[in-house]
Amino acid sequence: MNKGSKIAVTILLIIVFFFITALLTAAESSKTLIAMLGLGLFFGIKAMWKKPKEDISTEIKLDKSKNSDSESHNIK
Protein backbone atom coordinates (compact mmCIF):
# COMPACT_ATOMS: atom_id res chain seq x y z
CA MET A 1 0.00 0.00 0.00
CA ASN A 2 1.54 3.30 -0.99
CA LYS A 3 1.70 6.37 1.22
CA GLY A 4 -1.13 8.27 -0.48
CA SER A 5 -3.62 5.47 -0.04
CA LYS A 6 -2.56 5.03 3.61
CA ILE A 7 -3.28 8.72 4.23
CA ALA A 8 -6.68 8.48 2.52
CA VAL A 9 -7.68 5.36 4.48
CA THR A 10 -6.51 6.93 7.75
CA ILE A 11 -8.59 10.08 7.17
CA LEU A 12 -11.61 8.00 6.15
CA LEU A 13 -11.33 5.81 9.26
CA ILE A 14 -11.12 8.84 11.55
CA ILE A 15 -14.19 10.45 9.93
CA VAL A 16 -16.16 7.20 10.22
CA PHE A 17 -15.07 6.86 13.87
CA PHE A 18 -16.36 10.34 14.70
CA PHE A 19 -19.64 9.60 12.91
CA ILE A 20 -20.14 6.34 14.80
CA THR A 21 -19.15 8.04 18.07
CA ALA A 22 -21.78 10.73 17.50
CA LEU A 23 -24.44 8.09 16.80
CA LEU A 24 -23.52 6.06 19.88
CA THR A 25 -23.48 9.17 22.05
CA ALA A 26 -26.94 10.15 20.82
CA ALA A 27 -28.17 6.63 21.57
CA GLU A 28 -26.74 6.97 25.10
CA SER A 29 -24.40 4.04 24.66
CA SER A 30 -21.71 3.26 27.22
CA LYS A 31 -18.46 5.18 27.06
CA THR A 32 -16.58 1.91 27.39
CA LEU A 33 -17.82 0.81 23.97
CA ILE A 34 -16.71 4.09 22.43
CA ALA A 35 -13.31 3.76 24.13
CA MET A 36 -12.90 0.22 22.81
CA LEU A 37 -13.72 1.40 19.30
CA GLY A 38 -11.15 4.17 19.72
CA LEU A 39 -8.49 1.69 20.81
CA GLY A 40 -9.32 -0.54 17.85
CA LEU A 41 -9.00 2.44 15.53
CA PHE A 42 -5.65 3.41 17.07
CA PHE A 43 -4.11 -0.05 16.83
CA GLY A 44 -5.55 -0.61 13.35
CA ILE A 45 -3.97 2.57 12.04
CA LYS A 46 -0.74 1.75 13.85
CA ALA A 47 -0.61 -1.69 12.20
CA MET A 48 -1.34 -0.19 8.79
CA TRP A 49 1.54 2.32 9.06
CA LYS A 50 4.02 -0.16 10.55
CA LYS A 51 6.97 -0.88 8.30
CA PRO A 52 7.27 -4.53 7.32
CA LYS A 53 10.05 -6.51 8.94
CA GLU A 54 12.86 -7.87 6.85
CA ASP A 55 12.15 -11.27 5.39
CA ILE A 56 13.95 -13.71 7.64
CA SER A 57 14.13 -16.91 5.73
CA THR A 58 15.49 -20.31 6.69
CA GLU A 59 17.02 -20.67 3.25
CA ILE A 60 20.78 -20.54 3.01
CA LYS A 61 21.90 -17.81 0.66
CA LEU A 62 25.35 -18.26 -0.79
CA ASP A 63 27.42 -15.16 -1.29
CA LYS A 64 29.20 -15.80 -4.58
CA SER A 65 30.91 -12.42 -4.67
CA LYS A 66 33.71 -13.61 -2.35
CA ASN A 67 36.69 -15.46 -3.74
CA SER A 68 37.25 -19.02 -2.60
CA ASP A 69 40.08 -19.74 -0.18
CA SER A 70 42.39 -21.26 -2.82
CA GLU A 71 42.12 -18.14 -4.96
CA SER A 72 42.66 -15.70 -2.14
CA HIS A 73 46.01 -17.20 -1.03
CA ASN A 74 49.02 -16.60 -3.22
CA ILE A 75 50.55 -19.93 -4.11
CA LYS A 76 54.34 -19.75 -4.62
Please give the radius of gyration of the chain, using alpha carbons only, rounded to the nearest integer.
26
Across the 76 residues of the chain, what is the mean pLDDT of every consecutive 10-residue run?
92 96 93 94 94 71 64 55
For residue 41, give every residue at least 6 positions away whose Cβ sits within 8 Å of its Cβ, in sequence order, or none: 13, 14, 17
Distance CA 13, CA 7 (A): 10
| Helix, strand, coil percent values for the chain (each to nearest 5) | 60, 0, 40
Whole-prediction pTM: 0.64
Please check whether residue 63 is in contact with residue 24, taking contact to mean a CB–CB distance below 8 angstroms. Answer: no
